[in-house]
Every structure is written in C-alpha cells, then in structure tokens.
Amino acid sequence: MCTNYDWINHAIGKIEADYQRSADTHLIKLDLPCITGIDVYLKDESTHPTGSLKHRLARSLFLYAICNGWVGPKTTIIESSSGSTAVSEAYFARLLGLPFIAVMPKSTARRKIEQIEFYGGKAHLVDRSDQIYAESHRLAQEYNGHYMDQFTYAERATDWRGNNNIANSIFSQMTLENHPIPTWIVMSPGTGGTSATIGRFIRFQKHETRLCVVDPDNSVFYDFYNTRDTKLTGELGSRIEGIGRPRVEPSFIPGVVDEMRKVPDIASVATAHWLEKILGRKVGASTGTNVYGVLQLACEMKQRGETGSIVTLLCDSGERYLETYYNPEWVAENIGDLQPYLAKLATFEATGSLE
C-alpha cells in the first residue's frame, strides 16, 4: 500500500531527476562596440524544457507545495498566469500525473495556450487579468484542488542563498569575464520572485552589484516602489506578457531593489525587434523591456567614463508571439509606431547614446 510519504518521495525524486537531466542556461555576451569597456550579457532562459524563465519557478513551486503537504497524488493544480508559468507548471503536473488548470486572460498568446494543452493541461480564460485571482480560488474550491498562487509564493519557494538558483548561476558563469562582478543586474517583475531572489543573493554574498528593476506600462510596481502603498491597483493589464501587474503582488520585495525605471511598451517591443538583428532570432517583449533598461544604464555609465558589466535575462523565445509582437497589424493597433524607438536604437548603435 502506497503511503503519502511514498508518493512525496516519488514525486520529489521525479522532479529532481528531471532537473539533473537539464543543463544550465547559456550566458550570451552581446557584441556592442559602441559601448567599449561596458560588457552586456543575456542569461538565456528560453532554453529550458518549457522555453522560459518560469521553468525554474514552476519547479520550485511544486517542490514547495509538495513538501508543505499541499499537493498529493490526486490533487488538481490550479494556477493564475499570463501564460509562461502555466506552460511550465503544466509540464511538471504531467510529470507527476496530476490534473492542471491554468486561469489566464483571453488576451494570452494562442501559442502558450496550445503549449499548456500539449502538456495535458486545460486553459480557463477570463476577460481581464485582474479576474484571475478570484477565479483561481473558486476553481480550487470547486475541484478540491490546490491553487499554486505564484504571485504569493514565488519569493519564498526559491532558496535565495544559493543552491543553484538563477543568481548563483549568473555569478558562477561570470567568473572568467573581464568584469566578473556585474555593476548592474536588470530584471523586470512579473511575480517579483526573481528580483527578490537576485536582490537577496547579492546582499547575502556581499557583492557590490546593484539591482535595477524595469517596469512596463499599466503596471503598479514602479509606483509601489516609490510610495510603498500596497493598495495600489491599475485598471488595465500589462501588454507585455509575463511582466507588469495591475496590483501589488506579495512576492515583489522593494527593499532588495536599488533602482526602478519605467520602460514604455513601445520601447520594449522595438527593442525586441532590434535584438533579433543582434542575436539572429526572436525574443519576447519582456526581454525587450529588460534590454532597454540595460542600454539606458550602459549609456549613463559611458557618459560618466565608467567600465563594467551588466547582466539581464532573455526570458523566452519570440516564436510564442508571432501573432502579436511580431505581427505588424497587431503592433500598430495595440502598441503603436515602433519607428521612433527603432531610430533611437540605431542611434545607440552608432554613438553609444539613446538621445
């Protein structure tokens, strides 16, 4: 007879074996001659089995929930998500033979919904992004399941002291570079869990690296950082999938952030298009948000005569967004004219300035 401990041991063993089969993600150095002495790196999270940074989070959330006794051999898993976390959680739910339901806004890229279904999960769509929380709670009660709640548990499910987390990986991969301790790490917040992990790790390891968090339009994180008002809410959802929230999420920890910047959605999408020329492949718009913040910091460092390194994340592949960020009609209708920012990026390539 299989006891609950037998199942827990079996489930954790499966997740750990899956991790052991996975290699670390690459750290890509960008070739940007216009900012000589300032090295820029992308941690390519698109190479995870489920194609995004959220693969790390999903693994941590499952381990956390199993070890807390919240998930058992017949538990239906519910998650609220704009897409990538749900894809990754569907993967781990299938690994453990558990039913999975993702609650997502109807605006979520169709490719992500198809990936969730590929892993055996179901997509439960709502009209607006601010409806995902209550609907997830309702479904968890209806199915007697477990609401994974990435927005609450992301910052605590990952061991921020080290243990192969993303910050640990970045600093290990930087050891042989010209500037091995980054001047800046740049991250955009979805749950806020990754910025919390990186910021805590920097402090715990006593590094001089600073953490800059870049926020898209229609997100309250930037205003919360400046006001500390936890009741802030927005009327619209973010147009940059995976980042930006209409409410202050519990996993966003402002005290570990050294600086926050607002990046317009037009700049994010334009930078994603610009990066395709640099990398030879498409990236998601959240990567564009990250990189535009990196370029701003690099320009300022150059102006002050500083050298150093800046690291950010390539969050996911642009192949998921062929119908949106890489569709000219959709971009014109939902984002706007990219040309002014593409011109800024051309100026940057020529001069090392975004002015």
Residue pLDDT, tens place only, 243-283? 999 999 999 999 999 999 999 999 999 999 999 999 999 99
- pLDDT over 90 (residue 164): no
Percent of the chain surpassing pLDDT 90? 89
Instruction: Identify the pLDDT of residue 49.
Output: 93
Instruction: Identify the pLDDT of residue 163.
Output: 67
Instruction: Identify the pLDDT of residue 1.
Output: 39
What is the pairing mode between strands 77-80 and 146-147? parallel
Instruction: Identify the pLDDT of residue 324.
Output: 95
Q: What is the mean pLDDT of residues 92-106?
A: 96
Q: What is the mean pLDDT of residues 97-102?
A: 97
- pLDDT over 80 (residue 237): yes
- pLDDT over 60 (residue 2): no
- pLDDT over 80 (residue 67): yes
Residue type, 197: T
Residue type, 224: F
- pLDDT over 60 (residue 126): yes
The answer to whether 195 and 187 have CB atoms below 8 angstroms apart is yes
Q: What is the mean pLDDT of residues 331-351?
A: 97
Residue 179, judged by CB atoms within 10 A of its CB (0-12, 13-18, 19+), counts as middle
Could you tell me which of 185, 266, 192, 267 has the C-alpha nearest to residue 222?
Answer: 192
Greater confidence, 81 or 119? Answer: 119
